[in-house]
Amino acid sequence: MREIIFDTETTGFDPATGDRMVEIGCIEMVSRVMTGKHYHAYFNPQRPMPAAAEQVHGLSDRFLSDKSAFGEKADELLAFLGDSPLVAHNASFDFGFLNHELQHCGRPPVSMDRMVDTVALARVKNPGAKLSLDALCTRYGIDRSHRVKHGALLDAELLAQLYIELTGGRQIGLGLADDNKADKMMGQMDVNSVQTTKTFRPARAHSASSEELARHAEFVVKIKDALWLQPGSAL
């Protein structure tokens, strides 16, 4: 199954009050394995960047001034997303901005039915634990030492690793053998052809010799009230 793990950077928290998306990073996964394909773009928000937001992601007005508006990149973004499920951390936030930008440029919104929220997944697996991306990366041993500031593509890459951990771990998709191959191997095996190097020795005699019986009889008669000498007993 193809899935897209994505993250966004924005000018603030609420598109309804004029905030805009300024970056998106998308990672393609198939059967929970990263394929190496990704989509990444910066957007000119056509409004000033608040200082608080710039402090989080480092994207300044100057840096974004020559970038395309979202509408100019919308079609290539939608082509990459296709109809795959979309995985994000606190996904309602990213979906809100994505759909706001799509509607702003006359494109239909992405269905919320496609949304997979890793915060919800993490809450089920780690009740009571901190659910930030940083905290969960630490919990699952995901290296984030190169993450100085937030970045959509970098965070999507970290999230892809976290998503693997939350949905089966790093061994997902790996098996000792393909079932069909195993069946074929068993079908082709000739039990009679199995070689063995075990050496079989002749059976050892276990009955006592006449001398051993005589010595045993001499020993028994020296035992007081020996059970063997009771009526009906035999040596």
Which residues are marked as active site? 150
Q: How far apart are the first and last CA of the chain?
A: 79
User: Given the DSSP bridges, would you call strands 86-88 and 115-117 parallel, antiparallel or unpaired?
Assistant: parallel
Q: What is the DSSP string of 37-102?
A: EEEEEE---SSPPPHHHHHHH---HHHHTTSPPHHHHHHHHHHHHTT--EEETTHHHHHHHHHHHH
Backbone angles phi, psi at 217, to 5 degrees: -65, -40
- β-pairing, 21-30 vs 33-42, is antiparallel
What letter would DSSP give residue 111?
P
Q: Give me the residue label for tokens 């006449």.
A: 210
How far apart, in whole angstroms, are the C-alpha atoms of residue 173 and residue 1?
12
Q: Which of 34, 12, 2, 5 is nearest to 152 (CA)?
A: 5
* Cα–Cα distance, 119 to 89 (Å, whole number): 6
